Structures are given as structure tokens and as C-alpha cells.
Amino acid sequence: MGSRLQTATAFPAGFRLVGRSRELEVLVTALRQPPTVVLVEGEAGIGKSRLVREAASLLTDRLVLTGYCHPLREPHPFGPVIDALREAGRALPPRGVLPPSTGALAPLLPDLASRLPPPPTQPDDPGLARQQLIRAVRAFLSELGPVVLLVEDLHWVDDATRDLLLLLHRDMPGQLALALTYRADDLPSGMPPLGTAMRQSPGAGIVRLGLAPLSEDEVGGLAQEVLGTGADANLVRVLYQRCEGVPLVAEEDLRILVEHGCRHRSGELAGLLARAEVPASLREAVTERLRELAEPAAAIAAAAAVIGAPTSETVLTAVAGLPAEQGGEGLAEALDAALLQEVCDHRYAYRHVLAQQAAYEHLSGPRRERLHRRAVEVFRAQSPQPLVQIAHHLRVLGEREEWLRQGEAAAEQAVSVGDDGTAAALLQQLLETPELDIGSRSRLALALARVFADGVDSKASAAALRGLLADPQLAVATRGDIRLTLGLLMINNDADVTGFMELERAVPELDELPERAARAMIALAFDEHGEAAARRWTWLDRADELLREGPYPVMRAAVRATRLTLLARDADPGVWPLLDQVPRHCDDREELRHNARALYNVGELALELGHDARGAVLLEQGRILGARSAAPRHECYSRAALLRLDLLTGDWHGLEERFAQLAQEFPDVVMVQEEQAHAGARLAAARGEYGPALGWLEIATAIGLHGNQATTACRAAAATALLQLAQDTPEAAWTTCSTAVDTLRRANAWPRATGLVPAAVEAALACGEERYAVRLFDEAQAALTGRDAPGAAAELHFARGLLTDHQDSAARAEQFGLAARAWHRIGRPYETARSVERKGRALAAETPDAAGTAMNEAADVFERLGATADAGRCRRTLRELGLARPTSRGRPSYGSTLSPRERQVAELLARGTTNREIAQALVLSPRTVEQHVAQVLRKLGVTRNKVKAALTKTG
């Protein structure tokens, strides 16, 4: 401390941390066990910052990066996090080691640019540019080794930074720990610290620390540390009553007592405190110190109180109206008096917001106004101008027209640099201005809606958009535009089909905006739910008519993409030649994105129809165009569909890891989650892991309930029913299928093979509902007449085989054989093998040799794929029929090496599978499984819970 406070009672360099030993231990332990998030919550002055700083001083084995949120700051993407990353220089690897994606941070981290890769091309779309930065931040943090990212005062965080922290929380680098401090009372009511989309992240822990007020004994310990024997029981009681356990208030009182300690005895000190009004204790502490300052220091303190944000000495001096030399002396005295502190990088502010508020309220009204006006003059003289701060001071001064003009300019600046959080806060403040004219209100509301549309927390964004729509003063066209944004957000981000209702309401409101009205109509053409499916061509034709006369090349490309999509949905063979007319090169980036969407949509539908080879080409073209048009989501969709194609074509090696990597890159894309769930279910079921498979299908089913495509729910239902049939619960399987069949029927989506028709036929037959099964088959067959849908045709052959009389084994086997040949032509080995297996079962009674050939063929394919449960089922059937292949004399000796069967058992053990589940998956007796497990553990020399590590080590 400065010499001014060195009185007869020596004042310590800093207060000892009191009453927080348990919290400190929990915090340090959690931060040493990444990935984890620690939320430190407490009221103003309760000691959150002190606690995390104390923890940081103990974490000498890892890098601690600290960023601060402020209520006033200039536009800067992810400001608090970027400020923290500036401290990472000493931990960065040499240039050439960091991933290329981190180059996007080079313009924001000029001091580290020489260590970063070259910046990639920045997308024109601000939302896409922000996603690029988010990926760069995550990649940057991943390369730092053990690191703690500490963000203080999260209650002041901007929306963009909150989105970044939310995404980091959902998909945390393995060695990252997040520590976030905040005041819950200053969050919106009921809002979690990272927004409504905050949820438990798989593999990452969450620790919540709520800091309670100190007890009277703990306050006494703090007082004794400072005052020694002067802190008697009477003084401690008064001190505790005044601070109510808030450490900051107690410390301020103790500072005053130290200053008076040379002149007062203990009883007089207690009286000194008792005479102050208890609720105003901190205010009294601050104002007393302000009164003791010399004039230059008082002027600097007043300027800092009015500015309200960390500021340089030059700006403080100018706003205070002092010569440079007096400004420096005044700042030094204010620092010595512990009123101000250096926050970072030669910028100064009050030590705490409560102190700043007390100092601000200490100023007279006229003096405040003069200082605000001087601040505006000083900031306007800077280049570039700090528009946010200028707007703030104009707002306080009540300069309505200037505030509106400057505030809107500041919001536009924030959007231009990708700081949507600051833009949203400014636009919301502007909209709160009384008596705003309808033109300004509509313009500002529309700008705010576009900011919300790019938010990560889609539910919070939707709520905010609904709030804008509740404003009765908006222009009709503006209301329609915002409603269109809301509907698209609900459908695309949350797979919420009620968004179509918003789109339909938006159409008449957008009568004056033909492009936007057409956008709504195009989206409505995709609705397959209920009666809406019958109106899809009507909507598309209306959009086409609306755009025919105007200069709307981008929207006409959107109509073309939608028309091709609907033709493919209907399995219309005319779609294929029309695809050749879609330009693969285009100067307009938006038009190119719609062309990418056309290729992707038809490519994905090609997989549903059974045109896998065509689908592969189209999806790859869509992926390339998505990358070329800087549309990462389109590229992501194509990559997910190509992984689905790998599943269908039998390229299963490492498929789960590839899906996990894509989900890590795009954690909020529902389509990736859907395809990952279907792949996880298929692979788990093929291994006989029915519990995990059903878990994956629960995820897929939940997505299907809200998806805008009927086949999403149908695929999940078909896969679930097959698992239920395998577990001998046909009634459950029929219940699952019957609801989905109604969905398929209403959408008239029969051509898109989902596996539902054969699954529903099998479930109905197992429940004795033969008439239902026959009726369903006839309906599907009639609906497929004239349709170009090889996958659905193969499924019909399979279903007809199920329906054929068991006595006519040749006819039954023929249908399964036709299904197998159809799937083989399409290129799907798993479906081919399932059909061949059924053919073998049909032939078993009358032509056992042919049956044995078919069953062995199917078992070989299943084993090659890794479908151990399916292969085991085939081998068991062969044994039961006496058709098993003869084995060579004697068993091969594997010594200490795992045999192929032991390797299968070990891999299942590594996934946490029980002995009973292993027996089910490999079609073995429980006793045999016990013997295999014992051999695996003996050969690997590990216990059951360490099999996974042993397998990884041995490869």
C-alpha cells in the first residue's frame, strides 16, 4: 500500500483469505481434473475474484489465462476470451505446429501472429465468420496443454462470448478447465450462467461453488489479522453487523480503522463504525477516502467513476480536465488510496463495481453532467472513435437523437467486426427508447432479429424473436420478416415443426417483400406433416410465380433446388437429367450455396431411394460446392450423409470415431446427431449390444418426433422394431411400427426406403395380424408403381418373402433371393446378407445343402463387416441344422495370444458389456463365455475394467 496508509498500526500488503479453505480446495482440485467447468457464484463483494486468484496462484503446474467481462467495452469478437488468449504466448508451440484453423485468430492476436498459421479466407457472412473464430479458439486452447481459462463477471458477458463458452463447455478440449465467476442476481430470472442451452457435457465435470457470507467468527479472524488486539468482541460484533458477512465491505471498514488506529482506542473505533448507517457502509468507506484526496486525485477518481470502464491515464486526465503532469500525480494518489487499480495493460478502474457506483453517486448532478459531456468530447477526438462509450454517455445525458444515431452506428460497427453480443445489447437499448418512430423501430428490430438468428442458444434466440414480435408498433413487413426468421430458426436449428405455422403466418405479412415471401413459401414446401404434404407443390408454384418477373437470381436458384428436392422425394425419374442443369460454378456466393443445397438434398434422397452410386457423386459435389461457397453447414451435411453411405456400403472400420469427430466439429447440427445415432444403433445391434443400440435409437426417435422429414421418424421406428423382434417382444415392435406407418402414409413417402414396411409386416405377422400385413404390403406396392426407388423395391421383395406361405419354401426363398440381388446391385452388403440368411432359412427344410451354402455365405459377410451377433446367429442355425462346416483336426494353439473368438470377447469387454450380453451377442452359452472371459483376462494380465487399455496398448 502507499505510504499514506502506513500509520502506527501497520497495514498488511493484502488481506488473508478467510473462511474459504473448503471452497479453495474444491476449486483447485476441480481445475486440476480437466475437462471441467467450475461455476463460482456469489453476490457483489462476496470474494469470487479473490478466491479464483488465490487458486490461480496455486496452479503452478498449468497455464492460467484470465479475461474480464465489462458492462462497457468497444466491439471486439469474443473480447474477454481473446484478451485471455493474449497471455498464452509462452505456452505456444513453434509456428507450423498449430492447426491451420487457428490462423483465424492472427488478426485478433497481433502480438502472437508470428507464431500462428496464415489467416484463412474470412467468409462474407458474419455468422459463418463467427463460427470460423469459434473453431479457431477451440483448436488454439487444445494446443496449450493443461490450461485454465478464467472468465470473470460472466453476468456482464456479451451474447457472442457466451455462445463461445457454451460451445467450449459442450465440447471441451481434454486438458481445458473453465472457471467462470458471476452474480446470479444480475442474470435474467431463471437463466443458467451460459444460457438456456447449457447442459451437462459428456466426459466433462461441472462443479458449482456458491459463496456464502462469512460468519462472525470469520470476520473476527479477518479483523484480528489486521488490528491484532484492537479487534475485541465489541468491535467485531459492530463490524459484522455492518458488513453482514460480505468480505469487501469488511475490508473497506478495516482500511478506515487502520487509518484511525493511531488516534482511537478499540471502543472508540467500534463507535466510529456504529455511527455510520449500516446499509451505506461501503458508500461511507469510499466517500470518506474520496474526501481525503487532493484535488487532482479527486478529479481523476471522479472521471473514472463517470467513465465506468478500464481506461488509460491519458483519457482519465483529459476527462478530468487536468494537465498531463497533474493527471499522473492524481492517478498515483488514487492508486495509493486503493480506490483505483490497474486492471490490465495500463488501464485503470475502480477496484470493484460497488466502489465505482458509490463514487458516482457521490458526485453532484451538475458535475456528473459536465464529466459525461467532456467524456463525449474526448472519445470523439480519438481515432477510431469508441462508439459504444460515446453512445453510453449520450444516453445518460438524455441526448435522444444523438444517442439513437450514435447507438445504431455502434451496433453496425459491432456487427461488422463479428461482435454480435455488443450489437444485440445496443439494439435492445435503442428499442427501449420512448416514442421511437415506426421506421426506426422496425429497422432496429429487424437488425436485432438478424443478430439473434445466428445465436448458438436457439431456444433463447426464439424467445427473443417472439419478444420482438410482441411489439405492436412494428411495420407489418418487418413483423413478417422477423416471423420468417423465427420459423426458419425453429425448423433448421431445433427441428421444431411448429415453425411451419410461423412461416405460414408470415406469408401475408410479407406481401411487400416478394423475395422474403418466396423464402417462406419455399420452406413451407418442405413440410411433410399432416395435410401440409399435399400442398408442397402449391407453395413452390406460388414462389415461382412471385419471382418470375423480378431480378431475383438467388431466390430462383432456391426454387430450383427445392423443385429438384421434391422431385427426388417423389422418386420421379425426371430429376436425374435436370440435375445436369445445376451450375457447378457461379460468381454469386449465395446462388452457389443454393446449388450446393440442391446437390446435397438430391444426393441424400438418392440414398433413401437406393441410388447409392449416384448419391455418392452428388454428395461429394455438394461438399465441394459447400466449401467453395463458404457454407460450412452445407459441407457438414454432405460429410454426414457420406458417413451414412459408409455405413450402408459396409465401410464400418473406425466409423464411430469418424462420426464423433464430425459431431465435435459441429456440435449443434441436429442432422449430424441423427446420423450418428442411427450409425451407433446399427453397429451396436450388429454386435449384439442391444442396450446401447436402444439408447442410440432413443436419441434418433426424439429427433424424429420434431424433424421436418417424415422418414426421420420412420427410420428410427424400423430399427427399433427389429431390435424388439430380436428380443422376442413382437407386440412392442408392432406398436412401434403402427404409429410410424401412419406417418409414412400421411406423407406419401413410400419410395424412400426406411426399412419400415418389412419391419412392420414382420411385426404384424408375429402378432397374428396377417390381414394388416397383407393390406400394408398391397398399399406400399401400389404407391411404388412408376417410381424410381430400387431400395423400396428390394424391401417389397423381402416383405413378400415374409408373407409367402411357409409351405411354399421355394417361392419364399425366391423372394428373399430377389431382395438379396437387388441389395447387391445397390451395393449394401449388410442388407444383402440379411436377405441371403432368410433365403437359407426358407430352404432349410427341403434343400438343406442350398440352405447351408446360403447361410455360410451370409455368415461370412457378417463376419467381414464385424456384425458378430448376426454371424453367430447364422452359425448357430447351421449347427442346429447339422450344416456346419467341418473343422480341421485339432484346434490351433494361440499360446499367450488371443484367439479370434477371445479377441471378440475382449472387444465386447472393453465396451463394458456383461457376460450375459456377450453370450447374447456371440450366440454362446453363459458357461462358454465365462471360460473365454477368464482366458482373456489371464492372457492380457489385467482385471476386467482394464481390458480396454490393454487392447489399445497391444493394438
Model confidence pLDDT, tens digit, residues 518-574: 999 999 998 877 777 789 899 999 999 999 878 888 999 999 999 999 999 999 999
Cβ atoms within 10 Å of 3's Cβ, excluding its own: 6
By the 8 A CB rule, do 146 and 102 touch?
no
By the 8 A CB rule, do 339 and 359 touch?
yes
Cα distance between residue 554 and residue 591, in whole Å: 5
Position with higher pLDDT, 811 vs 452: 811
pLDDT digit string, tens, across residues 14-32: 577 888 888 999 999 999 9
Can you tell me the mean pLDDT for 107-125? 83
Range picked from 86-100, 340-354, 477-491, 924-938 for highest mean pLDDT: 477-491
Q: What is the pLDDT of residue 6?
A: 30
By the 8 A CB rule, do 737 and 723 touch?
no
Closest by CA position to 455, among listed 494, 416, 429, 484: 494
pLDDT higher than threshold 90 for residue 223: no
Q: Rounded to the nearest 5 degrees, what angle is found at the Cα of 401, between the Cα atoms of 452 and 512?
A: 50
pLDDT digit string, tens, across residues 772-810: 999 999 999 999 999 999 999 999 999 999 999 888 999
Give the three-state DSSP class for 8: coil
Q: What is the pLDDT of residue 256?
A: 66
Handedness of CA 6, 10, 14, 20 (dihedral sign): negative
Cα distance between residue 358 and residue 882, in whole Å: 92
pLDDT higher than threshold 60 for residue 12: no
719 Cβ neighbours under 8 A, 6+ residues apart: 678, 681, 682, 685, 697, 700, 755
String of DSSP letters for 774-819:
HHHHHHHHHHTTT---HHHHHHHHHHHHHHS-TT-HHHHHHHHHHH
787 Cβ neighbours under 8 A, 6+ residues apart: 570, 571, 572, 750, 751
Q: What is the pLDDT of residue 771?
A: 95
pLDDT higher than threshold 60 for residue 368: yes
Can you tell me the mean pLDDT for 257-272? 56
CA distances (Å), 466 to each of 452, 493, 496, in order?
Answer: 11, 16, 15
Q: Rounded to the nearest 5 degrees, what angle is found at the Cα of 540, between the Cα atoms of 537 and 545?
A: 125
Range picked from 123-127, 429-433, 722-726 for highest mean pLDDT: 722-726
870 Cβ neighbours under 8 A, 6+ residues apart: 686, 833, 834, 837, 858, 859, 862
Can you tell me the mean pLDDT for 462-475? 87
Cβ atoms within 10 Å of 802's Cβ, excluding its own: 19
Cβ atoms within 10 Å of 727's Cβ, excluding its own: 13
Can you tell me the mean pLDDT for 413-431? 81
pLDDT higher than threshold 90 for residue 369: yes
By the 8 A CB rule, do 340 and 304 touch?
yes
Q: How confident is the model at residue 5 (pLDDT cuts 50, 70, 90)?
A: very low
Can you tell me the mean pLDDT for 885-892? 53
Cα distance between residue 582 and residue 560, in whole Å: 9
Closest by CA position to 874, among listed 691, 688, 721: 688
Q: What is the pLDDT of residue 373?
A: 95
Q: How confident is the model at residue 112 (pLDDT cuts 50, 70, 90)?
A: confident
By the 8 A CB rule, do 219 and 254 touch?
no
Q: What is the pLDDT of residue 774?
A: 96
Cα distance between residue 877 and residue 356, in whole Å: 81
Position with higher pLDDT, 807 vs 274: 807
pLDDT digit string, tens, across residues 472-523: 888 999 999 999 999 988 887 766 788 899 999 999 999 999 999 999 999 9
Counting residues of the chain whose pLDDT is more than 90, the rounded percentage is: 38
Q: How confident is the model at residue 156 (pLDDT cuts 50, 70, 90)?
A: confident
Residue 207 β-bridge partners = 38
